[in-house]
Amino acid sequence: MTEAEIITLFRQSRALLEGHFELSSGLHSDRYFQCALVLQDPTLATHLGSTLAKLFVGLEPIAAIAAPAIGGILVAHEVARALHTRAIFTERVKGTMTLRRGFSLQPGDRVIVVEDVITTGLSTRETMAAVEQASGVVMGVGALVDRSGGTAFKDSSVPHHTLVTLAVQSYVPAECPLCRNRIPIIKPGSRI
């Protein structure tokens, strides 16, 4: 699947919307990715996960795929399926991304961190920190969509791969041209 085909697939499943959106980061944007709408189809989820997993061939053995909850969980699961390893996830506990539920790593375990959408890369970086805190070694970073145009991980010391890379403008509310034009805002996502 080419990047253009994947974008078409996202549009068709309404996983990519155009309008005026408040992102979970609080920033505003004219485009919004809701990967859950494409991942709700298990066949597509498996296909996207295996396509992403292929970009990390050569890093084996991988002890686990780790992702920030909630958006990254299915992505980690499908990448793990393709790489024949396990999937774990971090959750925010009192503001800190933490491995809970008995998830653990052995010292030196090689881990790939994945996400559905990278906007600033913050929750991905927090998950990388949680993996390192648990004695794992982050070998790579991946996402279905990087909406930072590739800037979020351009200085990363580990390989980073995404299926779709788009430079989508995000604005702090005070500087949002869509707000200035009084376009009604939509607050999608898991926090409402």
Nearest distance, CB of residue 110 and Zn ion, angstroms = 41
Q: CA–CA distance from 6 to each of 16, 44, 45, 96, 140 (Å)?
A: 11, 10, 12, 33, 22
Q: Residue count at the site for Zn ion (CB under 5 A)? A: 4
C-beta of 64 vs 176, nearer to Zn ion: 176
Nearer to Zn ion, 43 or 181 (CB): 181
Of 45, 70, 81, 90, the C-alpha closest to 189 is 70
**CA 176/CA 173 separation, integer angstroms:** 5
Footprint of Zn ion on 161-180 (CB under 5 A): 176, 178-179
Q: Which is nearer to Zn ion, 83 or 178 (CB)?
A: 178
Which C-beta is closer to Zn ion: that of 21 or that of 89? 21
Q: Where are the alpha helices (DSSP H) in the chain?
A: 3-12, 36-39, 42-54, 73-83, 122-133, 177-180
Q: What is the closest distance, in whole angstroms, from the C-beta atom of residue 33 to Zn ion in the complex? A: 17
Q: How many residues make up the chain in this entry?
A: 192
CA distances (Å), origin 16, targets 19, 38, 142, 160, 167:
10, 9, 19, 22, 14
**How far apart are CB 117 and Zn ion at their closest, in Å?**
18
Q: Give least dist CB 65 to Zn ion, A.
A: 34
Structure tokens belonging to residue 11:
């549009």
Measured distance CA(106)–CA(96) in Å, rounded: 21
Q: Within positions 9 to 28, which residues make up the interface with Zn ion, using CB under 5 A?
A: 28
- Residue 11 or 187 with smaller CB distance to Zn ion: 187
Among residue numbers 27 through 86, which ones bind Zn ion (CB under 5 A)?
Answer: 28
| Smallest gap from residue 181 Cβ to Zn ion (A) | 9
Query: Can you give the binding site for Zn ion, defined by CB under 5 A?
Result: 28, 176, 178-179
